[in-house]
Structure 1
Protein backbone atom coordinates (compact mmCIF):
# COMPACT_ATOMS: atom_id res chain seq x y z
CA UNK A 1 0.00 0.00 0.00
CA UNK A 2 1.33 3.44 -0.93
CA UNK A 3 2.25 5.55 2.14
CA UNK A 4 0.32 8.80 2.61
CA UNK A 5 2.31 11.87 3.66
CA UNK A 6 1.46 15.20 2.06
CA UNK A 7 -1.07 15.45 -0.75
CA UNK A 8 -1.33 18.69 -2.74
CA UNK A 9 -4.00 18.17 -5.36
CA UNK A 10 -7.16 19.43 -6.99
CA UNK A 11 -10.21 19.09 -4.76
CA UNK A 12 -13.84 18.59 -5.70
CA UNK A 13 -16.78 19.88 -3.63
CA UNK A 14 -19.49 17.29 -3.06
CA UNK A 15 -22.04 19.12 -0.88
CA UNK A 16 -24.04 16.04 0.09
CA UNK A 17 -24.73 14.56 3.52
CA UNK A 18 -25.34 10.87 4.28
CA UNK A 19 -23.70 9.73 1.04
CA UNK A 20 -23.87 5.97 1.48
CA UNK A 21 -21.82 3.13 0.08
CA UNK A 22 -24.56 2.07 -2.34
CA UNK A 23 -24.34 5.54 -3.87
CA UNK A 24 -20.56 5.37 -3.95
CA UNK A 25 -20.81 2.13 -5.95
CA UNK A 26 -24.16 0.48 -6.70
CA UNK A 27 -24.25 -3.22 -5.87
CA UNK A 28 -24.92 -4.29 -9.47
CA UNK A 29 -21.35 -3.36 -10.43
CA UNK A 30 -19.62 -5.39 -7.74
CA UNK A 31 -19.46 -8.72 -9.56
CA UNK A 32 -16.41 -7.75 -11.62
CA UNK A 33 -12.95 -8.68 -10.29
CA UNK A 34 -11.03 -6.07 -8.30
CA UNK A 35 -8.26 -6.14 -10.90
CA UNK A 36 -10.68 -4.81 -13.54
CA UNK A 37 -11.04 -1.53 -11.68
CA UNK A 38 -14.11 0.14 -10.17
CA UNK A 39 -13.38 3.78 -11.03
CA UNK A 40 -15.93 3.97 -13.85
CA UNK A 41 -18.69 3.13 -11.37
CA UNK A 42 -17.84 5.72 -8.71
CA UNK A 43 -21.08 7.56 -7.85
CA UNK A 44 -22.50 6.05 -11.04
CA UNK A 45 -26.18 6.80 -10.51
CA UNK A 46 -25.51 10.35 -9.37
CA UNK A 47 -22.94 11.15 -12.08
CA UNK A 48 -24.98 9.71 -14.95
CA UNK A 49 -28.48 10.15 -16.30
CA UNK A 50 -30.94 7.40 -17.18
CA UNK A 51 -29.31 7.10 -20.61
CA UNK A 52 -25.88 6.49 -19.05
CA UNK A 53 -24.45 9.81 -20.20
CA UNK A 54 -22.44 11.90 -17.73
CA UNK A 55 -24.40 14.74 -16.17
CA UNK A 56 -22.48 17.96 -16.84
CA UNK A 57 -23.86 19.59 -13.69
CA UNK A 58 -22.47 16.94 -11.31
CA UNK A 59 -19.36 18.24 -9.49
CA UNK A 60 -16.98 15.43 -10.46
CA UNK A 61 -17.97 15.81 -14.12
CA UNK A 62 -17.09 19.49 -14.38
CA UNK A 63 -13.97 20.21 -16.47
CA UNK A 64 -12.43 22.34 -13.73
CA UNK A 65 -12.55 19.34 -11.35
CA UNK A 66 -10.69 16.99 -13.70
CA UNK A 67 -7.97 15.08 -11.89
CA UNK A 68 -9.37 15.78 -8.43
CA UNK A 69 -7.74 13.59 -5.77
CA UNK A 70 -9.57 15.11 -2.79
CA UNK A 71 -13.32 15.08 -2.13
CA UNK A 72 -14.98 17.50 0.28
CA UNK A 73 -18.36 16.28 1.54
CA UNK A 74 -20.83 16.78 4.35
CA UNK A 75 -21.48 14.61 7.39
CA UNK A 76 -21.85 10.82 7.54
CA UNK A 77 -19.89 10.06 4.38
CA UNK A 78 -19.79 6.33 3.60
CA UNK A 79 -22.74 5.30 5.75
CA UNK A 80 -24.76 2.21 4.90
CA UNK A 81 -23.45 -1.24 4.04
CA UNK A 82 -19.95 -2.49 4.78
CA UNK A 83 -18.91 -2.98 1.14
CA UNK A 84 -15.16 -2.47 0.73
CA UNK A 85 -15.79 -1.81 -2.96
CA UNK A 86 -16.77 1.76 -2.00
CA UNK A 87 -13.15 2.42 -1.07
CA UNK A 88 -11.99 0.64 -4.25
CA UNK A 89 -14.21 2.86 -6.41
CA UNK A 90 -12.87 6.04 -4.84
CA UNK A 91 -9.23 4.99 -5.19
CA UNK A 92 -9.71 3.68 -8.74
CA UNK A 93 -11.39 7.00 -9.53
CA UNK A 94 -8.25 8.84 -8.41
CA UNK A 95 -9.42 9.92 -4.93
CA UNK A 96 -6.80 9.66 -2.15
CA UNK A 97 -8.52 11.71 0.57
CA UNK A 98 -12.05 12.57 1.68
CA UNK A 99 -12.62 15.56 3.97
CA UNK A 100 -15.91 15.46 5.89
CA UNK A 101 -17.28 16.10 9.39
CA UNK A 102 -17.96 12.39 9.99
CA UNK A 103 -17.77 9.00 8.31
CA UNK A 104 -19.45 5.64 8.47
CA UNK A 105 -17.27 3.58 10.82
CA UNK A 106 -16.82 0.54 8.59
CA UNK A 107 -16.25 2.65 5.49
CA UNK A 108 -13.53 4.65 7.27
CA UNK A 109 -11.77 1.46 8.38
CA UNK A 110 -11.94 0.03 4.85
CA UNK A 111 -10.63 3.32 3.46
CA UNK A 112 -7.58 3.29 5.72
CA UNK A 113 -6.84 -0.35 4.93
CA UNK A 114 -6.67 0.60 1.25
CA UNK A 115 -4.61 3.78 1.60
CA UNK A 116 -7.47 6.30 1.45
CA UNK A 117 -7.44 9.05 4.10
CA UNK A 118 -10.80 9.85 5.80
CA UNK A 119 -10.00 13.16 7.54
CA UNK A 120 -12.53 14.79 9.85
CA UNK A 121 -13.01 18.55 9.80
CA UNK A 122 -15.56 20.51 11.82
CA UNK A 123 -18.82 21.17 9.98
CA UNK A 124 -18.23 24.92 9.79
CA UNK A 125 -14.78 24.30 8.31
CA UNK A 126 -16.21 21.96 5.69
CA UNK A 127 -18.82 24.57 4.77
CA UNK A 128 -16.11 27.21 4.43
CA UNK A 129 -14.05 24.88 2.25
CA UNK A 130 -17.05 23.98 0.08
CA UNK A 131 -17.79 27.69 -0.44
CA UNK A 132 -14.13 28.40 -1.28
CA UNK A 133 -14.13 25.65 -3.90
CA UNK A 134 -17.41 26.82 -5.41
CA UNK A 135 -15.95 30.34 -5.67
CA UNK A 136 -13.12 29.04 -7.86
CA UNK A 137 -10.66 27.48 -5.42
CA UNK A 138 -8.95 24.36 -6.73
CA UNK A 139 -5.85 23.02 -5.00
CA UNK A 140 -5.94 21.82 -1.39
CA UNK A 141 -2.99 20.51 0.60
CA UNK A 142 -3.61 17.71 3.09
CA UNK A 143 -0.67 17.05 5.40
CA UNK A 144 -1.01 13.84 7.39
CA UNK A 145 2.29 14.49 9.16
CA UNK A 146 0.89 17.68 10.70
CA UNK A 147 -2.79 16.65 10.49
CA UNK A 148 -3.57 19.88 8.68
CA UNK A 149 -5.49 21.14 5.65
CA UNK A 150 -4.55 24.26 3.67
CA UNK A 151 -6.76 25.90 1.04
CA UNK A 152 -5.89 29.41 -0.09
CA UNK A 153 -5.60 31.51 3.09
CA UNK A 154 -7.44 28.89 5.16
CA UNK A 155 -5.62 26.55 7.56
CA UNK A 156 -7.27 23.91 9.74
CA UNK A 157 -6.32 20.87 11.76
CA UNK A 158 -8.15 17.61 11.13
CA UNK A 159 -8.87 14.58 13.29
CA UNK A 160 -8.00 10.94 12.61
CA UNK A 161 -7.53 7.89 14.80
CA UNK A 162 -3.80 7.76 15.73
CA UNK A 163 -3.48 4.08 14.79
CA UNK A 164 -5.01 4.79 11.39
CA UNK A 165 -2.60 7.70 10.98
CA UNK A 166 0.35 5.40 11.67
CA UNK A 167 -0.89 2.84 9.16
CA UNK A 168 -1.40 5.45 6.44
CA UNK A 169 1.93 7.19 7.02
CA UNK A 170 3.77 3.89 6.65
CA UNK A 171 1.55 2.22 4.06
CA UNK A 172 0.90 -0.60 6.52
CA UNK A 173 -1.80 -3.25 6.65
CA UNK A 174 -2.99 -4.65 9.99
CA UNK A 175 -0.39 -7.43 9.60
CA UNK A 176 2.37 -4.86 9.04
CA UNK A 177 1.23 -2.97 12.12
CA UNK A 178 1.44 -6.14 14.21
CA UNK A 179 4.89 -6.98 12.81
CA UNK A 180 6.12 -3.52 13.81
CA UNK A 181 5.86 -4.81 17.39
CA UNK A 182 7.77 -8.03 16.66
CA UNK A 183 10.55 -7.33 19.17
CA UNK A 184 8.07 -6.70 21.99
CA UNK A 185 6.11 -9.82 21.04
CA UNK A 186 9.24 -11.96 21.07
CA UNK A 187 10.30 -10.51 24.44
CA UNK A 188 6.88 -11.25 25.93
CA UNK A 189 6.93 -14.81 24.62
CA UNK A 190 10.40 -15.45 26.05
CA UNK A 191 9.43 -14.03 29.44
CA UNK A 192 6.20 -16.00 29.50
CA UNK A 193 7.98 -19.24 28.64
CA UNK A 194 10.41 -18.64 31.46
CA UNK A 195 7.61 -17.86 33.93
CA UNK A 196 5.18 -20.58 32.76
CA UNK A 197 7.14 -23.37 31.02
CA UNK A 198 4.29 -25.76 31.66
CA UNK A 199 2.04 -23.72 29.33
CA UNK A 200 4.29 -24.22 26.29
CA UNK A 201 4.62 -27.21 23.99
CA UNK A 202 8.11 -28.61 23.37
CA UNK A 203 10.33 -26.23 21.48
CA UNK A 204 11.45 -22.65 21.86
CA UNK A 205 9.02 -19.78 22.21
CA UNK A 206 7.82 -18.70 18.79
CA UNK A 207 8.48 -22.09 17.11
Structure 2
Protein backbone atom coordinates (compact mmCIF):
# COMPACT_ATOMS: atom_id res chain seq x y z
CA UNK A 1 0.00 0.00 0.00
CA UNK A 2 2.86 2.36 0.84
CA UNK A 3 4.33 2.00 -2.64
CA UNK A 4 0.98 2.16 -4.42
CA UNK A 5 0.13 5.64 -3.13
CA UNK A 6 2.90 7.44 -5.08
CA UNK A 7 1.90 5.53 -8.21
CA UNK A 8 -1.72 6.63 -7.83
CA UNK A 9 -0.66 10.27 -7.70
CA UNK A 10 1.86 10.01 -10.55
CA UNK A 11 -0.63 10.83 -13.32
CA UNK A 12 -2.10 13.75 -11.36
CA UNK A 13 1.34 15.18 -10.63
CA UNK A 14 2.30 14.81 -14.28
CA UNK A 15 -0.93 16.47 -15.39
CA UNK A 16 -0.44 19.52 -13.16
CA UNK A 17 3.26 19.67 -14.07
CA UNK A 18 2.26 20.50 -17.64
CA UNK A 19 0.69 23.74 -16.43
CA UNK A 20 3.89 25.30 -15.08
CA UNK A 21 4.60 28.77 -16.45
CA UNK A 22 7.55 27.87 -18.68
CA UNK A 23 5.62 24.99 -20.22
CA UNK A 24 2.57 27.13 -20.94
CA UNK A 25 4.61 29.94 -22.48
CA UNK A 26 6.49 27.49 -24.69
CA UNK A 27 3.31 25.88 -25.95
CA UNK A 28 1.66 29.28 -26.47
CA UNK A 29 4.62 30.27 -28.64
CA UNK A 30 4.23 27.10 -30.70
CA UNK A 31 0.47 27.21 -31.20
CA UNK A 32 0.68 30.74 -32.61
CA UNK A 33 1.93 29.03 -35.78
CA UNK A 34 -1.33 27.15 -36.11
CA UNK A 35 -4.64 28.09 -37.63
CA UNK A 36 -6.52 25.05 -36.35
CA UNK A 37 -7.09 23.54 -32.93
CA UNK A 38 -6.37 20.06 -34.32
CA UNK A 39 -2.79 21.01 -35.24
CA UNK A 40 -2.30 22.62 -31.83
CA UNK A 41 -3.49 19.47 -30.07
CA UNK A 42 -0.93 17.47 -32.04
CA UNK A 43 1.75 19.89 -30.85
CA UNK A 44 0.65 19.22 -27.27
CA UNK A 45 0.92 15.46 -27.75
CA UNK A 46 4.36 15.68 -29.36
CA UNK A 47 5.56 18.04 -26.62
CA UNK A 48 4.39 15.55 -24.00
CA UNK A 49 6.12 12.67 -25.78
CA UNK A 50 9.39 14.59 -25.94
CA UNK A 51 9.12 15.67 -22.31
CA UNK A 52 8.42 12.10 -21.19
CA UNK A 53 11.27 10.71 -23.32
CA UNK A 54 13.87 12.86 -21.57
CA UNK A 55 12.58 12.17 -18.07
CA UNK A 56 12.44 8.43 -18.76
CA UNK A 57 15.97 8.45 -20.20
CA UNK A 58 17.38 10.27 -17.16
CA UNK A 59 15.37 7.97 -14.91
CA UNK A 60 16.86 4.89 -16.55
CA UNK A 61 20.35 6.32 -16.13
CA UNK A 62 19.93 7.20 -12.46
CA UNK A 63 17.60 4.44 -11.26
CA UNK A 64 18.64 1.43 -13.33
CA UNK A 65 22.21 2.19 -14.43
CA UNK A 66 22.98 3.95 -11.11
CA UNK A 67 24.67 6.84 -12.89
CA UNK A 68 25.35 9.76 -10.55
CA UNK A 69 24.64 13.13 -12.17
CA UNK A 70 26.19 16.16 -10.48
CA UNK A 71 23.73 18.67 -9.05
CA UNK A 72 25.39 21.49 -11.02
CA UNK A 73 24.56 19.64 -14.23
CA UNK A 74 20.85 20.08 -13.58
CA UNK A 75 21.46 23.81 -13.20
CA UNK A 76 22.85 23.84 -16.72
CA UNK A 77 19.84 21.80 -17.86
CA UNK A 78 17.53 24.47 -16.45
CA UNK A 79 19.58 27.22 -18.11
CA UNK A 80 19.26 25.37 -21.42
CA UNK A 81 15.49 25.51 -21.04
CA UNK A 82 15.76 29.26 -20.47
CA UNK A 83 17.81 29.66 -23.64
CA UNK A 84 15.24 27.63 -25.55
CA UNK A 85 12.44 29.92 -24.34
CA UNK A 86 14.38 32.97 -25.52
CA UNK A 87 14.95 31.40 -28.93
CA UNK A 88 11.30 30.37 -29.24
CA UNK A 89 10.05 33.85 -28.43
CA UNK A 90 12.59 35.57 -30.67
CA UNK A 91 11.88 33.26 -33.60
CA UNK A 92 8.14 33.76 -33.24
CA UNK A 93 8.50 37.55 -33.24
CA UNK A 94 10.66 37.37 -36.35
CA UNK A 95 8.11 35.16 -38.12
CA UNK A 96 5.32 37.53 -37.16
CA UNK A 97 7.27 40.50 -38.46
CA UNK A 98 7.82 38.70 -41.76
CA UNK A 99 4.06 38.01 -41.92
CA UNK A 100 4.71 34.44 -43.06
CA UNK A 101 1.81 33.09 -41.04
CA UNK A 102 -0.59 35.03 -43.31
CA UNK A 103 0.50 33.38 -46.53
CA UNK A 104 -1.26 30.31 -47.86
CA UNK A 105 1.79 28.07 -47.67
CA UNK A 106 2.42 29.02 -44.06
CA UNK A 107 -0.95 27.52 -43.12
CA UNK A 108 -0.18 24.12 -44.57
CA UNK A 109 1.31 22.82 -41.31
CA UNK A 110 -0.34 19.43 -41.09
CA UNK A 111 2.73 17.51 -42.31
CA UNK A 112 4.28 15.35 -39.56
CA UNK A 113 7.71 17.02 -39.76
CA UNK A 114 6.23 20.29 -38.55
CA UNK A 115 5.56 18.68 -35.18
CA UNK A 116 9.25 17.91 -34.70
CA UNK A 117 9.66 21.34 -33.15
CA UNK A 118 7.09 20.48 -30.48
CA UNK A 119 8.83 17.16 -29.81
CA UNK A 120 12.22 18.88 -29.61
CA UNK A 121 10.89 21.53 -27.23
CA UNK A 122 9.45 18.76 -25.09
CA UNK A 123 12.81 16.96 -25.06
CA UNK A 124 14.59 20.07 -23.77
CA UNK A 125 11.81 20.85 -21.31
CA UNK A 126 12.18 17.37 -19.85
CA UNK A 127 15.63 18.39 -18.63
CA UNK A 128 14.13 20.97 -16.27
CA UNK A 129 13.31 19.43 -12.93
CA UNK A 130 14.09 15.91 -14.09
CA UNK A 131 16.80 15.44 -11.48
CA UNK A 132 14.54 16.48 -8.61
CA UNK A 133 11.76 14.22 -9.85
CA UNK A 134 14.00 11.18 -10.26
CA UNK A 135 15.66 11.69 -6.86
CA UNK A 136 12.21 11.93 -5.26
CA UNK A 137 11.18 8.69 -6.94
CA UNK A 138 14.38 6.99 -5.78
CA UNK A 139 13.67 8.12 -2.22
CA UNK A 140 10.00 7.12 -2.11
CA UNK A 141 10.15 3.90 -4.14
CA UNK A 142 12.74 1.28 -3.32
CA UNK A 143 12.10 -0.86 -6.41
CA UNK A 144 13.67 0.21 -9.71
CA UNK A 145 10.70 -1.20 -11.59
CA UNK A 146 8.26 0.83 -9.51
CA UNK A 147 10.36 3.92 -10.13
CA UNK A 148 10.26 3.47 -13.90
CA UNK A 149 6.52 2.74 -13.81
CA UNK A 150 6.02 5.95 -11.81
CA UNK A 151 7.91 7.96 -14.44
CA UNK A 152 5.88 6.36 -17.23
CA UNK A 153 2.58 7.20 -15.51
CA UNK A 154 3.89 10.70 -14.78
CA UNK A 155 4.67 11.03 -18.48
CA UNK A 156 1.16 9.99 -19.50
CA UNK A 157 -0.24 12.58 -17.11
CA UNK A 158 1.97 15.31 -18.56
CA UNK A 159 0.88 14.38 -22.10
CA UNK A 160 -2.76 14.69 -21.07
CA UNK A 161 -2.08 18.02 -19.36
CA UNK A 162 -0.27 19.52 -22.32
CA UNK A 163 -2.96 18.22 -24.69
CA UNK A 164 -5.49 20.25 -22.72
CA UNK A 165 -3.22 23.28 -22.40
CA UNK A 166 -2.40 23.40 -26.11
CA UNK A 167 -6.07 23.13 -26.99
CA UNK A 168 -7.03 25.98 -24.67
CA UNK A 169 -4.15 28.22 -25.73
CA UNK A 170 -4.87 27.64 -29.41
CA UNK A 171 -8.37 29.12 -29.15
CA UNK A 172 -7.32 32.81 -29.28
CA UNK A 173 -5.15 32.07 -32.34
CA UNK A 174 -7.70 29.98 -34.23
CA UNK A 175 -9.16 31.59 -37.34
CA UNK A 176 -12.61 30.81 -35.98
CA UNK A 177 -11.98 33.17 -33.07
CA UNK A 178 -9.43 35.62 -34.44
CA UNK A 179 -9.78 36.77 -38.03
CA UNK A 180 -8.25 40.22 -37.48
CA UNK A 181 -4.52 40.25 -38.27
CA UNK A 182 -3.89 43.01 -35.74
CA UNK A 183 -5.42 41.06 -32.85
CA UNK A 184 -3.65 37.84 -33.81
CA UNK A 185 -0.36 39.70 -34.16
CA UNK A 186 -0.76 41.41 -30.78
CA UNK A 187 -1.48 38.11 -29.03
CA UNK A 188 1.50 36.48 -30.70
CA UNK A 189 3.79 39.37 -29.74
CA UNK A 190 2.62 39.31 -26.13
CA UNK A 191 3.14 35.56 -25.70
CA UNK A 192 6.55 35.77 -27.39
CA UNK A 193 7.74 38.62 -25.17
CA UNK A 194 6.63 36.79 -22.04
CA UNK A 195 8.51 33.75 -23.32
CA UNK A 196 11.71 35.78 -23.74
CA UNK A 197 11.40 37.45 -20.33
CA UNK A 198 10.86 34.16 -18.53
CA UNK A 199 13.74 32.59 -20.46
CA UNK A 200 16.09 35.35 -19.31
CA UNK A 201 14.88 34.92 -15.73
CA UNK A 202 15.43 31.15 -15.81
CA UNK A 203 18.93 31.51 -17.25
CA UNK A 204 19.91 34.17 -14.71
CA UNK A 205 18.63 32.18 -11.73
CA UNK A 206 20.46 29.01 -12.76
CA UNK A 207 23.77 30.40 -14.02
CA UNK A 208 24.55 33.14 -11.51
CA UNK A 209 25.50 30.67 -8.77
CA UNK A 210 27.45 28.22 -10.94
Q: Do they superpose with TM above 0.5?
A: no
TM-score normalized with structure 2 length:
0.23
TM-score normalized with structure 1 length:
0.24
- Structure of larger gyration radius: 1
- Structure having the higher helix fraction is 2
Q: Which has the higher contact order (CA 8 A, sep 6+)?
A: 2
- Structure having the higher strand fraction is 1
